Structure 1
Amino acid sequence: MSTAPTADRDDTGLFIRALRYSDPVVRALESELQLEYAERYGDPDEGPILPEQFTPPEGLFLVGFVGNEPVATGGFRKHDDGVAEIKRMYVAHEHRGGGHARRLLAELEAQAVRAGYHRVVLETGLKQPEAMSLYQSSGYTDTEPYGYYSEAEFSRFFTKDLDLASGD
């Protein structure tokens, strides 16, 4: 079962709803994402994820829909006091280039602020240049490695101060 919508449609046609990480819609998009990781890196993402980490008030998982079609996902979970970690950002291939990732990222940031976080961190990989470009153009800067992939040569780590972003 889903929660109430978190945002109205915008000019991209994306409608964003909060869903449980265990929801079948999320699981289907997660499967697509894992296939993409395997194509790009040779293996799916093995970093530990617990569904309850994306449960309010400390976490949230969002799905973007165009009409009734789920096309984008992303969530945040607690990383540290006042710091959320963004995870599992994904836009289905046939819906890329329409601004959906940027819209979903902005909604994740807004929801993280509402949850009491003042900063976010995230990890992405060198074989995802479009993701790195999105984060950098959205005000993210390099930060120290952390977590499961902290030693991985292909990983890049970013952070953004949401206090500065709250006026956006």
Structure 2
Amino acid sequence: MVRIERTTYQNEDFPNLVAKLDAYLSDTDGDEHDFYHQYNGIENLNQVVVAYLNEVPVGCGAIKEFNPTAVEVKRMYVSPETRGQGIATRILTELEKWAEESGYKSCILETGKRQPEAIALYQKSNYQVIPNYGQYVGMENSVCFKKDLT
């Protein structure tokens, strides 16, 4: 059974999941990993969700304010052995719901072109490709998305 918990960066399971995400991204991003990593600190992420499968932490995600009307989706991860079960979709849906409850109108995010599973998730979830924003402008490996919330 999957349980999705709303929490903060202080949840003890969140840093452990993020460490697994960072190890994965270090492999996929290669030489660009240090550039991306500098923008992915977890301190002060106060809207975090952790997914538990049979009470074992298997996935996470977070949102943080990007501007007064939009949040940025950060630190999305599901452990490889539990992928394909809809857990990432449940995490993303919960983050979108939380953003909407908090008064935001849209979600934006950046992912890497070398992460086809992530791109497929966002496309399936009705995110649209947008021009790279902020620190991702000019980054060849980055693809940015936006979804308007209802």
SS in 2 for 1:78: strand
Deviations 1:84-124 (A, max 9, x none): 10001100011001000011111110111001111110000
Q: 5+ residue gaps in structure 2?
A: none
Partner residue of 2:108 out of 105, 121, 126: 121
Distance 2:74 2:15 in 1: 14
Deviations 1:24-74 (A, max 9, x none): 21110000000000111123542423522x22xxxx000000112000100
Partner residue of 1:132 out of 119, 123, 131: 119
SS in 2 for 1:108: helix
Q: 5+ residue gaps in structure 1?
A: 1-12, 164-168
Match status 1:74 vs 2:61: yes
Normalising by structure 2, report the TM-score: 0.92
1:1-168 equivalences in 2 (<5 Å)? 13-42=1-30, 43=33, 45-48=36-39, 49=41, 51-52=43-44, 54-55=45-46, 60-163=47-150
Root-mean-square deviation (CA, aligned residues, Å) is 1.3
SS in 1 for 2:85: coil
What is the CA distance between 1:19 and its match in structure 2? Answer: 2.4
SS in 1 for 2:134: coil
Larger % of helix: which?
A: 2
Distance 2:7 2:108 in 1: 21
Distance 2:24 2:136 in 1: 17
Q: Which structure has the higher relative contact order (CA within 8 Å, separation 6+)?
A: 2
Query: Is the 2:9–2:15 Cα contact (8 Å) retained in structure 1?
Result: yes
Distance 2:137 2:19 in 1: 24
Normalising by structure 1, report the TM-score: 0.82
- Letter of the 1:33 counterpart: L
